[in-house]
């Protein structure tokens, strides 16, 4: 089994001691694990302090950039975990989420948490294949 760190400048720099994603390969099979992404604009490194719809859109653009750089994509995501600061934002987040995943519909867990980095409203991590 091989482990490879994934990095692209099309997604935000990690704000701590972690990788944007890690690829695990065994033979012809590969899985990608993205770190939780929040709404940081990779061009400016500025946190998008918008509503949950705007933040979800930026988060999923960041995830998409990381996966595409690794040779995968949103259509190959098999599991997501969504962290929301409040379940009051569930419907709005879900509307944007559906735009990105459409018919592929990965398995998902959504949990409310007491806080996220930079006071984000949403954070999303994924597991995808190649």
pLDDT band at 16 (very low <50, low <70, confident <90, very high): confident
Where do the structural domains in the chain lie, given as residue ranges?
2-128
**Which of 118, 21, 95, 107 is CA-nearest to residue 64?**
21
Report pLDDT digits (tens) over 78-124.
999 999 999 999 999 999 999 999 898 999 999 999 999 999 999 99
Q: With 90 as the cut, is the pLDDT of residue 128 above it?
A: yes
- In the predicted model, what is the mean pLDDT of the chain? 95
Report pLDDT digits (tens) over 45-84.
999 999 999 999 999 999 999 999 989 999 999 999 999 9
Q: With 90 as the cut, is the pLDDT of residue 15 above it?
A: no
Class of domain 2-128: alpha beta
0.85 cut: is pTM over it?
A: yes
- The answer to whether the beta carbons of residues 78 and 128 sit under 8 Å apart is yes
Residues with Cβ within 8 Å of 11's Cβ and at least 6 positions away in sequence, in order, are: 20, 37, 42, 62, 63, 65, 66, 69
Provide the 10 A C-beta neighbour count for residue 43: 9
- The answer to whether the beta carbons of residues 52 and 122 sit under 8 Å apart is yes
């Amino acid at each position: 089994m091989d482990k490879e760190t994934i990095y692209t400048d099309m997604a935000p720099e990690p704000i701590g001691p972690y990788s944007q994603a890690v690829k695990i390969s065994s033979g012809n099979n590969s899985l990608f694990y993205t770190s939780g992404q929040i709404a940081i604009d990779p061009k400016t490194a500025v946190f998008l302090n918008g509503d949950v719809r705007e933040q979800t859109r930026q988060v999923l653009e960041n995830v998409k950039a990381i996966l595409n750089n690794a040779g995968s994509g949103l259509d190959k995501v098999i599991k997501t975990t969504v962290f929301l600061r409040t379940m009051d934002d569930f419907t709005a987040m879900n509307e944007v989420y559906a735009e990105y995943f459409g018919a592929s519909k990965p398995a998902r867990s959504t949990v409310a948490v007491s806080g996220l980095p930079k006071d984000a409203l949403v954070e999303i991590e994924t597991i995808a294949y190649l």
